[in-house]
């Protein structure tokens, strides 16, 4: 295993491969991967072109077990704007630190991506619960709520129950999103459909075998069919890279459909560093290029002190 000092040297060698000013700019903005051990923030989001957010569940379920207020305090110290996928009961804790919630969970109990809009067995419940969350969002000024296709099996927990076809799943999801988007038009809340990868079966939150919306083009076609300004894509860069790749071209092609972004390092869904395969400074420059003004939610599972990990994500993405 490389020590911290040698990690920094390796990163510099890798950066030289990019060549010229691009490498110099990336090195200047990112530093080495070691970041430091002081427990104090090393940098803040200062450029104002990326609105940084961070997902609570990654830190809540990690060995550090941060609650919403703890994460909000650290996020605020880094100049982030939001902690997301937070229950309405915790929104006041974010407000204490001057933060908002960029996107709310849909309110479904358990893993919310298993029972989605694609399945008639669950759709009415999903719509009812999501509308209640949208009511809370409208009252608190939370701009978006998440939505999911759902698992492809007739009974979410049972692969032996038979499958919903892609065509039927798309029709059902379009119908459900149209109802939610119409409600969102009344409430001023946008529903964002998230595509998830089905390839990684090493961890229940790194991949989701059985999820029907595992193709970004399939999900984009659903959003086009809904045809509402209150129905958008949640473009998770980590999941798209695993299933489809060609991330920057797809962002440009789908720019008018995208309402929110998520990040994580691939492989592993861990920190955003320069030893994983997604070059986040280039991706963030693309968001600036297309005029994206929404939030970027960091949704990685930390493998070390989360303060170091969050500081690193901000430093890498604050283009």
| Selection from 68, 79, 152, 156 nearest residue 104 by Cα | 68
Q: Tokens 């998770």 map to which residue?
A: 236
Regarding beta strands 158-163 and 153-155, do their DSSP bridges make them parallel or antiparallel, or are they unpaired? antiparallel
Report how far apart the first and last C-alpha atoms of the chain are (Å, whole number).
Answer: 30
Give me the pLDDT at residue 19, please: 32
Give me the pLDDT at residue 8, please: 34
Between the alpha carbon of residue 206 and those of residues 46, 151, 186, 227, 243, the distances in Å are 30, 15, 35, 30, 13
Beta bridge partners of 158: 155
For CA atoms 180, 185, 190, 193, give the dihedral sign.
positive
Give me the pLDDT at residue 44, please: 87
Give me the pLDDT at residue 200, please: 98
Beta bridge partners of 147: 193
Each domain of the chain, given as residue ranges in start order, spans: 51-317
Give me the pLDDT at residue 62, please: 83
* DSSP secondary structure letter of residue 265: B
**C-alpha–C-alpha distance, residues 264 and 204, integer Å:** 15
Reading the block at residue 124, the tokens are: 């009415």
Give me the pLDDT at residue 42, please: 55
Give me the pLDDT at residue 43, please: 72
| Span 34-72, pLDDT tens digits | 444 444 445 788 899 999 999 999 999 888 899 999 999
| Selection from 218, 223, 230, 235 nearest residue 297 by Cα | 235
Give me the pLDDT at residue 88, please: 97
Give me the pLDDT at residue 64, please: 87
Architecture per CATH, domain 51-317, reads as Alpha-Beta Barrel (3.20)
With left for phi above 0 and alpha for psi between -120 and 50, is residue 104 left, alpha or beta? beta
Rounded mean pLDDT for each run of 10 residues along the chain, 319 residues in total: 32 30 37 42 80 97 92 97 97 98 97 97 98 98 98 97 98 98 98 98 97 98 98 98 98 98 98 96 98 98 95 96
Query: Helices (DSSP H) in the chain: which residue ranges?
Result: 4-16, 20-30, 56-60, 68-77, 91-95, 123-140, 166-187, 216-226, 237-243, 247-253, 280-289, 306-317
Give me the pLDDT at residue 205, please: 96
Give me the pLDDT at residue 45, please: 85
């Amino acid at each position: 295993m490389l020590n911290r000092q040698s990690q920094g040297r390796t990163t510099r060698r890798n950066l030289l491969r990019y060549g010229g000013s691009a490498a110099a700019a990336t090195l200047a903005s990112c530093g080495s991967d070691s970041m430091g051990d002081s427990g104090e923030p090393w940098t803040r989001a200062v450029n104002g072109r990326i609105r940084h957010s961070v997902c609570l569940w990654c830190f809540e379920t990690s060995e550090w077990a941060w609650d919403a207020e703890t994460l909000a305090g650290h996020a605020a110290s880094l100049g982030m704007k939001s902690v997301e996928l937070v229950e309405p009961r915790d929104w006041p804790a974010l407000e204490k630190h001057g933060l908002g919630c960029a996107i709310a969970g849909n309110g479904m109990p358990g893993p919310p991506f298993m029972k989605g809009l694609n399945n008639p067995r669950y759709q009415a419940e999903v719509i009812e619960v999501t509308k209640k969350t949208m009511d809370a969002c409208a009252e608190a000024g939370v701009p978006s709520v998440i939505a999911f296709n759902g698992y492809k099996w007739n009974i979410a927990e049972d692969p032996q129950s038979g499958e919903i076809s892609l065509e039927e799943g798309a029709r059902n999801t379009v119908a459900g999103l149209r109802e939610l988007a119409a409600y969102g038009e009344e409430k001023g809340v946008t529903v964002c459909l998230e595509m998830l990868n089905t390839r990684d079966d090493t961890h229940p939150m790194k991949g989701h075998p059985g999820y029907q919306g595992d193709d970004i083009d399939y999900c984009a076609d659903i959003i086009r069919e809904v045809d509402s300004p209150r129905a958008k894509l949640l473009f998770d860069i980590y999941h798209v890279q695993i299933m489809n790749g060609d991330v920057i071209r797809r962002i440009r092609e789908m720019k008018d459909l995208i309402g929110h972004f998520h990040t994580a390092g691939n492989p592993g869904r861990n920190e955003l560093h320069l030893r994983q395969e997604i070059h986040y400074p280039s991706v963030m420059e693309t968001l600036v290029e297309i005029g994206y003004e929404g939030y970027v939610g960091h949704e990685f599972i930390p493998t070390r002190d989360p303060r170091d990990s969050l500081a690193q994500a901000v430093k890498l993405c604050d283009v």
